[in-house]
Amino acid sequence: MAWRTVQRSKTLLGPLLLACACWGSLTAFAGSSLCRSLRPSASLAAVTEAKVDSKAATEGDPAKLEFETYKFNLAWTKMKQAEEENSPEYPKLKQEVEDLAKVVESLGGSKPAEMMTLDEAERKVREVREDLSFEKLMQMSNEERWLLAQGLGPAFPISLILSYTLYWTLNVPFITYAYYTSVLSGAASMSLVMAGAYATSIPFKPLIYIGAILFTPWVADNIMPAISKFFKLFRLPDEQELNQL
């Protein structure tokens, strides 16, 4: 009896093992087919994600921007030296500076005002006029304001001079009052009064800078044309103008 039971178990075990083996083969085949069908899209998604991450890292990497700006400054110094010496290397260095300027701009920086054309300077001024406000400038750090100011073109230095002139003009009554109440009475010296006035101006420097940035569009529209006409009075005539005389 026991022998028959063992024989019957062996008889049933064979087909069962064969069925398990077939099921395992079908499962493996289906899994491999599914992986092959999904692999291209998964690879494409991985490549796309890598490209996006690389682009985001490039655009928002301050260390890379600082490094490229340093390279640009070195190339700019070499170009200026070659220009002063009339070196034959000047065209090559100028092209290198222009290429580095494009890299710096692509990373979020800006090229110096000397490299800007009139159209680029006007575009920068329009961006300030349209996008910036006193509240936005107050939220910026000093470094961000400095980077912004470097891209505003030649109108910004004039605006900054006017802003400082206005500030110290408003301080004249206070300095005069301190002079008559302290210096003339012998309580303090004039140097001490001016040192106090300068120390008082330090907290107001961000406001002076912000005022100069916001004042730049007005300077570009009203002051810069007059300055351009003034300097043209001292410009030597070119060949075409000489032929017209």
Q: Sort residue 235 into left (φ over 0), alpha (ψ -120 to 50) or beta.
A: beta
Does 160 have pLDDT greater than 50?
yes
Whose tokens are 């006007």? That residue is 122
Q: What integer pLDDT is reported at residue 32 of this predicted model?
A: 43
pLDDT single digits (tens) 168-193: 898 888 888 888 888 888 888 888 88
Average pLDDT score over the chain: 69
pLDDT single digits (tens) 74-108: 887 888 888 888 888 888 888 888 888 888 778 77
Report whether 111 contacts 104 (CB < 8 A). Answer: yes
Looking from the CA of 203 toward its CB, the CA atoms found within 13 Å total 3
pTM of the entire predicted model: 0.45
Structural tokens at position 237: 């005539």
Higher pLDDT, 211 or 138: 211
- DSSP conformation letters of the chain: -HHHHHHHHHHHHHHHHHHHHHHHHHHHHHHHHHHHHHHHHHHHHHHHHHHHHHHHHHHT-HHHHHHHHHHHHHHHHHHHHHHHTT-TTHHHHHHHHHHHHHHHHHTT----GGG--HHHHHHHHHHHHHH--HHHHHHS-HHHHHHHHHTS-THHHHHHHHHHHHHHHHHHHHHHHHIIIIITTTSS-HHHHHHHHHHHHGGGHHHHHHHHHHHHHHHHHHTHHHHHHHHHTTSPP-HHHHHH-
Does 48 have pLDDT greater than 60?
no
Q: What integer pLDDT is reported at residue 135 of this predicted model?
A: 79
Which stretch, 19-33, 69-83, 106-120, has highest mean pLDDT? 69-83
Q: What integer pLDDT is reported at residue 163 of this predicted model?
A: 92
Neighbouring CB atoms inside 10 A of 92's CB total: 12
Percentage of the chain lying above the pLDDT 90 cut: 3
Report whether 153 contacts 124 (CB < 8 A). Answer: yes
Phi, psi of 85 (to 5 degrees): -90, 0
Burial class (CB in 10 A: 0-12, 13-18, 19+), 151: buried
Does 39 have pLDDT greater than 60?
no
pLDDT single digits (tens) 192-209: 888 888 888 888 888 888
Neighbouring CB atoms inside 10 A of 223's CB total: 16
Q: What integer pLDDT is reported at residue 60 of this predicted model?
A: 53
Closest CA to 94 of 72, 109, 113, 110: 72
Does 125 have pLDDT greater than 80?
no
Q: How confident is the model at residue 141 (pLDDT cuts 50, 70, 90)?
A: confident
Q: What integer pLDDT is reported at residue 74 of this predicted model?
A: 82
Q: How confident is the model at residue 10 (pLDDT cuts 50, 70, 90)?
A: very low
CA-CA distance, 200 to 202, in Å (whole number)? 6
Higher pLDDT, 148 or 51: 148
Q: What integer pLDDT is reported at residue 162 of this predicted model?
A: 92
Which stretch, 40-44, 59-63, 163-167, 221-225, has highest mean pLDDT? 163-167
